[in-house]
């Protein structure tokens, strides 16, 4: 690959240690690890339906170019690469890039990780069949201009999954009081509740960005089974919307 | 990378971990017994590159002489084997249509209170099936030969897990790299021990005597379980007028009985057996198995999973050992397949933890239940005896309770894996 590792070998051990942090299911990214199978099931089924792929086949996403915005340690990029997709992982935080790169190489995966933003990728004329835009929109300064860039990144017929957190008293209790203050799953201040977006607001933003929302689904945490599951009714806290570029 | 190539590079020694190294196998299974072969078939059916390592050559493992050993398979086990393409190749499967459970004392015959289960009470067909070891083993071996499974006659001498896989050294010195090592290596699992997994267990000072008998009268497709002070006696119907006998005595007494000639052995067995099937004769070899219960503290370790007796040895009181093993096979096969199809690293710690959560609770419950059952029934205390007679009678009188017991024994309760529902992975 043209992006051949540019990591200083003396730094590899440090990045490996950071990657181990990212990928420790009981470590500081525990909530993401817990949610990951559930959101992968959702993303995979949406891609399979739109691009007519059979998920029981080996490497079903062969031939698809997928962008992971806010890739972090590569929790979504790696599965997509394993499923055969050509993956670009983008993160605005420079420190995440070598960490994700080292881990992917360790796993025998080829992923094009870049320190860049959606806006810069769009300006460079990059296009994708799928954009995974998961748990990002609540952190950006201007959601509409961000989603407009995402629209430009999609090929015609392309698909974007966009997940975020609803804004209501329950989401405040769960995402901020529960996850940050009580469980300490996330560092305090990870989320700013006023930046949370309701499903109706996100629908509206996506439409204004030129996209066509086609599905909305909730990610629901069940404290009894200590597990996440998908719900087509309960969008009260975490939810995802799939939209298409027509 | 060779040493010379590494030395030729400017950047010093090669990186310390297996970066992007290729794999010989997705999964390597240690142990080619009933669970190991079933596990290999399940994984191969889902498309995993699977290697089965067992020190005994296949010819030895598929010896066909009748040795009298049989398995009481639940409906859920039958479905697993059917879905894996093994069941239809089995000849001489005996359905169990009725089960009676009786409290008895040797020489006295059964007590008047007993439990009777009938296949009419469940919708899924017979209560279970008796399959002989001499048929099941070759059928599994044949299926393994027909599937795309690499077989190596060797043992696992050592293994070293790392961040993306496990390097396995065989007895021959050959090394293979896999994503996951599955230990199907029995109750003294070396894979479990070398993974640092401790076991909790206790013996019973009881030994099971196992043999097959030919009997005069037809068994009516009925399995009998008699609870006697030294331990239970099970009469399990085989095809024709034959039955497999599992009979428990104290270890000292069992050793004494095992040393007797066949005629004396039968003299001990007859009064316990009773006369309801007419004259009985031995129809195969005699075996003894010391009873021991143990459960591994963990069913998984980094890049390692344990299946069957390697994870748990239950009291054979209800023939649940192989049934529990096949449930492990079905559950682990499903967890790995789903993770792989989801794009996850299918042997990552959080994936393996799903298998452990699924199976360890079930198994611990089963171990506890069979242990309690055994302690309650292997006792001649008159109070206990009265209490359990009343208990059996009450259970028999309450259709709801009985139905639940039947479904439990048939393996139809709990969170059933797809293979145990008769669905492909």
Task: List, for residues B16-64, the tens digit of each pLDDT value.
Answer: 344 445 788 899 999 999 999 999 999 999 999 999 999 976 655 555 5
Looking at the partner chain, which of A9, A83, A106 has a beta carbon nearest the beta carbon of B17?
A: A106
pLDDT tens-digit series, residues B246-273: 888 899 999 999 999 999 999 999 888 8
Order of strands, sheet of B128-132, starting from the edge strand that comes earlier in the sequence: B70-73, B128-132, B94-96
d(CA B193, CA B304): 11
Of residues B207 and B306, more confidence is placed in B306
pLDDT for residue B4 is more than 90: no
pLDDT tens-digit series, residues B274-297: 788 899 999 888 888 888 888 899
Give pLDDT, residue A14: 78
CATH number at residue B37: 3.50.50.60
Q: Residue A32 belongs to what H/E stretch?
A: helix A30-51
* Closest chain B residue to the Cα of A79, Cα to Cα: B343
* Closest chain B residue to the Cα of A42, Cα to Cα: B342
d(CA B416, CA B406): 16
Fill in the DSSP letter of residue B21: -
B303: chain A residues, CB-CB within 8 Å? none
The answer for A 100-139 residues in CB contact with B (under 8 A) is 105-108
Give pLDDT, residue B272: 82
CB-facing half-sphere around the CA of A35: CA atoms within 13 A = 22
Give pLDDT, residue A192: 79
Average pLDDT, chain A: 90
Q: Is residue B3 part of a domain?
A: no
Q: Is residue B10 part of a domain?
A: no
To the nearest whole Å, the CA of B44 is away from the closest chain A CA by 13
pLDDT tens-digit series, residues A72-123: 999 999 999 999 999 999 999 898 999 999 999 988 899 999 999 999 999 9
To the nearest whole Å, the CA of A109 is away from the closest chain B CA by 7
Instruction: Determine contact: A86 vs chain B, CB below 8 A.
Output: no
Confidence of residue B369 (pLDDT cuts 50, 70, 90): low
Q: Is residue B114 part of a domain?
A: yes
Q: Is residue B52 part of a domain?
A: yes
Based on DSSP, count helices (H) and strands (E) in chain A, helices before strands.
Answer: 8, 8
Q: Is residue B138 part of a domain?
A: yes
Say whether B343 and A79 touch across the interface (CB within 8 A). yes
d(CA B221, CA B236): 9
Say whether A106 and B350 touch across the interface (CB within 8 A). no
Which domains are delineated in chain A?
9-244 (3.40.50.150)
Looking at the partner chain, which of A40, A83, A105 has a beta carbon nearest the beta carbon of B19?
A: A105
Residue in the block written with tokens 């990144």: A153
ipTM here? 0.90
Residue of A15, A48, A78, A82 to mutate for B, most B C-beta atoms under 10 A? A82
Looking at the partner chain, which of A9, A12, A40 has a beta carbon nearest the beta carbon of B342?
A: A40
Cβ-contact A239, A163 below 8 angstroms? yes
* Closest chain B residue to the Cα of A45, Cα to Cα: B342
Q: Is residue B14 part of a domain?
A: no
List chain A residues with pLDDT less than 50.
1-5
A40: chain B residues, CB-CB within 8 Å? 342-344
A13: chain B residues, CB-CB within 8 Å? 16
Q: Return left, alpha or beta for B112; rule: phi > 0 is left, psi -120 to 50 is alpha, else beta.
A: alpha
Residue in the block written with tokens 């691009």: A51
Looking at the partner chain, which of B12, B163, B341 has a beta carbon nearest the beta carbon of A106?
A: B163
pLDDT for residue B15 is more than 50: no
In our burial notation (b when 16+ CB lie closer than 10 A, e otherwise), range B124-135 reads: eebbbbbbbbbb
Give pLDDT, residue B410: 59
β B287-296/B222-228 pair status:
unpaired
Say whether B344 and A79 touch across the interface (CB within 8 A). yes
Domain residue limits at B297: 25-421
Cβ-contact A65, A58 below 8 angstroms? no
Q: Is residue B158 part of a domain?
A: yes
How much is the average pLDDT of B375-380?
Answer: 58
Q: Is residue B231 part of a domain?
A: yes
Residue of A108, A132, A225 to mutate for B, most B C-beta atoms under 10 A? A108
Say how many domains are in chain B. Answer: 1
Instruction: Determine contact: A9 vs chain B, CB below 8 A.
Output: yes
pLDDT tens-digit series, residues B57-112: 665 555 556 566 788 898 899 999 999 999 999 988 999 888 887 776 544 555 55
d(CA B129, CA B136): 12
* Closest chain B residue to the Cα of A57, Cα to Cα: B341
> CA angle, B130 as apex, B38 and B373 as ends, to 5°?
95
Count of CB pairs separated by less than 8 Å, A with B: 55
To the nearest whole Å, the CA of B25 is away from the closest chain A CA by 14
Say whether B15 and A40 touch across the interface (CB within 8 A). no
Q: What is the pTM for the complete model shown?
A: 0.87
* Closest chain A residue to the Cα of B18, Cα to Cα: A106
Say whether B343 and A25 touch across the interface (CB within 8 A). no
How much is the average pLDDT of B310-328?
Answer: 81
Say whether A82 and B343 touch across the interface (CB within 8 A). yes
Nearest to A198 by CA among A206, A189, A209, A186: A206
Fill in the DSSP letter of residue A137: G
Instruction: Determine contact: A190 vs chain B, CB below 8 A.
Output: no
Average pLDDT, chain B: 82
pLDDT above 70 covers a percentage of chain B that reads 73
């Amino acid at each position: 690959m043209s992006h051949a590792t540019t990591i200083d070998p003396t730094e590899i051990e440090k990045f490996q240690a950071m990657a181990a942090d990212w990928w420790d299911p009981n470590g500081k990214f525990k909530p993401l690890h817990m949610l990951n199978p559930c959101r992968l099931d959702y993303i995979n089924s949406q891609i399979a339906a739109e691009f007519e792929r059979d998920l029981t086949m080996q490497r079903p996403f062969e031939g698809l170019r997928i962008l992971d915005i806010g890739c972090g340690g590569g929790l979504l990029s790696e599965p997509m690469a394993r499923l055969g997709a050509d993956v670009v992982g983008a993160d605005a935080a420079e420190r995440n890039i070598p960490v994700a790169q080292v881990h992917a190489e360790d796993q025998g995966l080829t992923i094009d990780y870049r320190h860049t933003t959606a806006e810069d990728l769009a300006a460079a004329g990059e296009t994708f069949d799928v954009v995974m835009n998961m748990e990002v929109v609540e952190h950006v300064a201007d959601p509409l201009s961000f989603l407009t860039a995402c629209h430009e990144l999609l090929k015609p017929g392309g698909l974007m999954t966009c997940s975020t957190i609803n804004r209501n008293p329950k989401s405040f209790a769960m995402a901020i009081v529960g996850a940050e203050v009580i469980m300490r799953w996330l560092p305090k201040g990870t989320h700013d509740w006023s930046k949370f977006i309701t499903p109706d607001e996100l629908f509206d933003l996506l439409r204004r960005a030129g996209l066509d929302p086609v599905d909305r689904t909730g990610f629901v945490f069940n404290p009894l089974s200590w597990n996440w599951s998908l719900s087509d009714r309960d969008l009260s806290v975490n939810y995802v919307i799939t939209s298409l570029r027509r | 990378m060779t040493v010379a190539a590494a030395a030729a590079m400017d950047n010093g020694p090669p990186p310390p971990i297996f970066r992007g190294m290729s794999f010989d196998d997705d999964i390597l299974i240690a142990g080619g017994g009933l669970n190991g072969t079933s596990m290999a078939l399940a994984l191969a059916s889902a498309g995993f590159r699977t290697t089965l390592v067992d020190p005994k050559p296949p010819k030895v493992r598929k010896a066909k002489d009748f040795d009298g050993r049989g398995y009481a398979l639940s409906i859920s086990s039958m479905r697993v084997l059917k879905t894996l393409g093994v069941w239809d190749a089995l000849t001489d499967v005996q359905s169990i249509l009725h089960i009676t459970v009786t409290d008895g004392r040797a020489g006295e015959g059964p007590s008047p209170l007993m439990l009777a289960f009938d296949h009419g009470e469940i919708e899924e067909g017979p209560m279970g099936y008796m399959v002989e070891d001499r048929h099941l083993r070759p059928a599994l071996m044949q299926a393994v030969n027909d599937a795309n499974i690499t077989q190596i006659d060797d043992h696992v001498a050592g293994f070293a897990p790392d961040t993306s896989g496990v390097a396995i050294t065989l007895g021959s010195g050959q090394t293979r790299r896999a994503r996951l090592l599955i230990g199907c290596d029995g109750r003294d699992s070396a894979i479990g021990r070398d993974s640092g997994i401790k076991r909790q267990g206790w013996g019973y000072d009881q030994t099971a005597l196992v043999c097959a008998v030919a009997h005069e009268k037809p068994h009516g497709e009925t399995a009998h379980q008699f609870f006697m002070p030294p331990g239970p006696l099970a009469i399990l119907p085989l095809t024709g007028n034959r039955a497999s006998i599992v009979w428990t005595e104290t270890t000292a007494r069992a050793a004494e009985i095992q040393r007797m000639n066949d005629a004396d052995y039968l003299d001990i067995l007859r009064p316990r057996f009773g006369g309801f099937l007419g004259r009985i004769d031995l129809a195969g070899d005699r075996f003894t198995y010391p009873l021991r219960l143990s459960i591994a503290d963990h069913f998984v370790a980094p890049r390692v999973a344990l299946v069957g007796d390697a994870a748990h040895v239950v009291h054979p009181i209800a023939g649940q050992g192989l049934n529990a093993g096949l449930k492990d096979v079905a559950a682990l096969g499903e967890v790995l397949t789903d993770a792989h199809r989801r794009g996850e690293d299918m042997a990552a710690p959080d994936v393996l933890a799903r298998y452990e959560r699924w199976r360890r609770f079930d198994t611990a419950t089963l171990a506890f239940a069979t242990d309690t059952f055994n302690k309650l029934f292997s006792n001649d205390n008159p109070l206990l005896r009265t209490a359990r007679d009343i208990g059996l009678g009450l259970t028999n009188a309450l259709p709801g309770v009985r139905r639940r017991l039947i479904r439990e024994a048939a393996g139809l309760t709990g969170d059933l894996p797809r293979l145990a529902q008769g669905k492909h992975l």
